[in-house]
Structure 1
Amino acid sequence: MITLILPPDRWNDMRFPVGILSISSVLSRNGYENVVLDSKLLDGTDKNPDDLILENLRKTSSMIVGLSSYIHEQVYVAKIAKKIKELNKEIFVMVGGPQPTVAPEFYLKSGVDLVVRGEGEETIIPIIEEIKGSRDFEKINGVSFIRNGEVFSTPSAPMIKDLNILPLPAYDSSNIKHYARISSRVIRGVPLKTASIMTSRGCPFSCTYCMGKLITGKKVRFRSPELIYEEVKLLRDSFGFEAIYFLDDTLSVSKDYVKNICLIMKELGMLWGAQERVNTVSASNLRDMAKSGCVQLDFGIESGSNRVLNEIAKKNITVEQSLSSQRLVKSFGIRTFSNFMIGFPTETRKEMGDTFKLAKKIKSDEYIFAILMPIPGTPIWDMVNPDIPPDRMSEMNFFGGELVDLYNRSEVKNLERVRTKFTNSLYIRSRFRKLLFYPRFLFKLSKKNFSRLPNRIVIDLLYEINLAKGQMIYTLKNIKPLRKAVRSIKRNLYKRSY
């Protein structure tokens, strides 16, 4: 038995863990029995997730464990790997995902046996065969391990050329009841039963803060329309999903491919959303998108300064394109979700102000203002060169926190307060736009005979309450006297603990 563990930090996420489910599917196709541990372990119990994971390993006597890790999970994954080794030191523990790919040393020095770098579907079977055999991992590309007391990395494995050879993700191995619920957190702000899938891998762009291309490369590889049709139909017919969110870095990097997606979604009667770029959308594609059920497109606007966009972020877009693309999308009745970022190296107060002015101008339906968080392996990380201990890496946060000052290289101090001010100023406007959207949305649902309209409204209302609560917490945190009081309490508690 092989056990694949999704870190508990993601158990409440409403988007499928596509990477782990894809590995599970490859293992099953090659005859290896495996189980995915996720939020289904919580069913009917209030036990600690770590205890549940270890209890499951005892029951199954699993001797091979695979973990996935993002940067914010780095410390947790090292901790649970140590606990697994304490349970049975013979259990072979391997880790894959974005953060292990760029920083394998931390995991290996924490007791992990093997790090899988990059895409894992073609690597996993040779790894399993070596674990069961001579354990000569040097002949496998794309792995790192300890050799003679030192971290040793084999050459990177090539990207998977033909994605069509991969089986569909093992959706039935996940907690499908959790993911197949009505939620406003997949296509954000829209209450639907939404599944998340990936139709392509790779990104041809060179954004300095993004690590996506470090995992999937710059060359875009597409899955066939026939496979996409099969996957979407399975999710609709077998699990009751009503909508799809496409996880591709940029869906319309190929306009012909988008047309095929639109034909599939229209034929299957599904609503959908996707990630887009301001310089790849076109009127012809948007017309097809709107007719095929597209309800929202997510954009990385990032900044209102052309200097920041192109000299620092290397996005190769302009403020003018951001404005015109949003108007164009809205003219076809499609909602927009806009991501903004402050805290770029050398960014001035005026440039941050220009970002806020742009956010007001584009009148997006949903916003996120984030603080630049440098990720190891990206050009921004090298530019910022933050002095952050590896065991504190998990504390980095897009919304603030104690480590921000260690990597803030902008000309503005207290980015958390600036971010809160910008977000609060736009909050009421975006909620008002959502009220205007609702009649059209409910009409669209009634035309498709989607049921449980009252439930959707209640679920979305809870989403809005949580959103408002989050805004209030960040606002209170940034009131100066309260901030000082909280720090004083923390200092006193720290002193008493020693």
Structure 2
Amino acid sequence: MIYLVNPPCPPGSVSNKDTMGGLGQLYPAGTPTIMPPIDLPYLAALFREHRLSCVTLDCLGSGMDAGDLLLALKRNRPRLVALRTSLPSLEWDLKLAELIRTVVDTELIMFGPCLKYLGELALRDGHVDAVVPGEAELVLPKLAAAPPGSPVAGVVRRGSAVVDDGGRIEDLDALPFPAWDLLPYHNYHCLGLVRNLRPFVTALSSRGCPHGCAYCPYPVVQGRKIRLRSAQNVVEELVWLDHGLGVRAVLFRDPEFAVSRDRVAAICEGMLQRSLTLSWRCETRIENLDPELLSLMARAGCVGINLGVESANEEILRGVGRKSFPYEKARTLIDCCHRLGIETFCFFVLGLPGESWRSALATIDYALALAPRAVQFTVATPYPGTGLWEWASGHGFIEEGSFSALTGYEATMRTEHLRIDELASLRDYAYRAWSMRGAAPWFRIAGCVRNLSHELKAAASFLRERREVRAKSVACGTGVTNG
């Protein structure tokens, strides 16, 4: 018997191992997000297809803690346990591996893309027998079918001098559809992203990103060669989710869903022809969109699009290999989305190379002016393997500490002009600015009517903070100019 395990979350956190190209993020406990890494249901489907005896255990979706996991393993005594890890959860997952060793004698494997850079750390204490740093769907079924301890491409064991990731899956259509029926998919949700509809699952219609932005882990993990599933294959999966499992909402996890306009159009037309009732959300670059395509996407059930805007400053964007997009065109497309009933969620990154008080405030103002339905302000995170990691390491800008801090929200890297604590302050200020100015004003008016004193005090406090922040921007106005 083989156990494929998405382990319990670190105490005080919710682990999302699917984001950041599979490197993962940690959210504060109570965050209304429960979804497993998509390689878990893919692996479950492959094991079923190859008739390999397997139990797929998603501790997050099942509400299992470390004690529950240890009890299950002690009772069933599997011959192999494969733990899915991530960058910010790795230290906790290694503690779990040590505990597993105390209750069952088994071959213990860890898999996840962070192990390409941290595999040696995972193997160091001897609790983990081997790591799989590449695409686990290509490796773990072969490992499960091989005699214990046998050499398998893509499996790195203790003492190995070579890190072999096993290559990448080129024909994504050859994969079976993710076996959500073997996981507790009725428990999954991601509040606000797909109108809170349930059952909710994720889908992956492509892998890879051709752009290679210096701060982004997706091209590092999935490669810069874009690997596309055919539109027909994607539609057939959606038919199965809708008609077979009763799924109501799908979040596409592609880093660049609309990289091929023709394919997106074919997927949407296929959904309309098959009369699917799914609501779905995707992520793409705003320059891939146009009003005609957006109209087709809306008719096919698209209710939201995540857009990476990142910065308002052209020089900063060029420095990390990203092109800017004219404000007028961006605002026009965002307004078009809203007219069609598609919610927009824009991502912004504070603290990229060259960032200053002035450029950061320009980005915050830009976010407010674009007026999407929601925003995310993250602090530039030096993920291992990215150009940003190399730049920050070379300049000594990374604060030493735990990998658990590499969440995308905690400030762990300074810039030429901003300290780590200043970046954290700018992130917090950005969210307060959004809550006071970017959110729908009618909600604020309603709030004032309900609690006038509280709202007026909050507004006065924010105005004082804004004056202080902008005064500091003038006093410390070094670095690149506004874009």
Match of residue 342, structure 1, among 341, 347, 350: 350
Corresponding position of 1:161: 170
Corresponding position of 2:7: 7
Match of residue 255, structure 2, among 237, 249, 253: 249
Task: Report the residue type matching 1:276 in the other structure.
Answer: T
Corresponding position of 1:207: 213
Q: Answer whether contact 2:6 2:60 (CA < 8 A) is retained.
A: no
Deviation at 1:41, TM superposition (A): 8.0
Deviation at 1:389, TM superposition (A): 5.4
Aligned-residue sequence identity (percent) comes to 24
Corresponding position of 1:240: 246
Corresponding position of 1:191: 196
Deviation at 1:433, TM superposition (A): 7.2
Kindly indicate which of the two structures has a greater share of residues assigned to helix. Answer: 1
Q: 1:117-158, CA deviations, whole angstroms, 9 ceiling, x for partnerless residues?
A: 22121212222233x25x242xx33332212xxx43254423
Deviates more, 1:296-305 or 1:193-202: 193-202
Q: Answer whether contact 1:345 1:409 (CA < 8 A) is retained.
A: yes
Task: Report the residue type matching 2:44 in the other structure.
Answer: S
Task: Report the residue type matching 1:8 in the other structure.
Answer: P
Q: Secondary structure at the match of 1:122?
A: helix
Task: Report the residue type matching 1:372 in the other structure.
Answer: A
For 2:192 and 2:106, how far apart are their aligned partners in 1? 36
Corresponding position of 1:494: none
Q: Secondary structure at the match of 2:214?
A: coil
For 2:441 and 2:371, how far apart are their aligned partners in 1? 8
Q: Answer whether contact 1:309 1:318 (CA < 8 A) is retained.
A: no
Deviation at 1:387, TM superposition (A): 5.2
Output the TM-score relative to the length of structure 1: 0.78
1:269 maps to 2:277? yes
Q: Answer whether contact 2:110 2:128 (CA < 8 A) is retained.
A: yes
Corresponding position of 2:29: none
1:63 maps to 2:72? no
Corresponding position of 1:314: 321
Q: Secondary structure at the match of 1:218?
A: coil
Note the 1:293-312 alignment, pairs <5 A.
293-311=301-319
Deviates more, 1:155-164 or 1:352-361: 155-164
For 1:342 and 1:209, how far apart are their aligned partners in 2? 11
Q: Answer whether contact 2:311 2:349 (CA < 8 A) is retained.
A: yes
For 2:307 and 2:60, how far apart are their aligned partners in 1? 33
Distance 1:377 1:163, change over 3 A: same
For 2:304 and 2:436, how far apart are their aligned partners in 1? 20
Deviation at 1:14, TM superposition (A): 3.0
For 1:283 and 1:42, how far apart are their aligned partners in 2? 41
Note the 1:50-129 alignment, pairs <5 A.
50-88=66-104, 90-110=105-125, 111-129=127-145
In the alignment of these two chains, the number of paired residues is 418
Deviation at 1:254, TM superposition (A): 0.4
For 1:94 and 1:40, how far apart are their aligned partners in 2? 19
Q: Answer whether contact 2:368 2:438 (CA < 8 A) is retained.
A: no
- What is the root-mean-square deviation of aligned Cα atoms in Å? 2.6
Q: Which runs of 5+ in 1 are unaligned?
A: 437-471, 480-498
For 1:86 and 1:257, how far apart are their aligned partners in 2? 50
Deviation at 1:206, TM superposition (A): 0.9
Task: Report the residue type matching 2:121 in the other structure.
Answer: F
Corresponding position of 1:418: 426
For 2:179 and 2:192, how far apart are their aligned partners in 1? 22
Q: Which runs of 5+ in 2 are unaligned?
A: 10-14, 17-31, 445-457, 466-483
Corresponding position of 2:287: 279
Corresponding position of 1:36: 56
Deviation above 6 Å: which 4+ runs of structure 1? 433-436
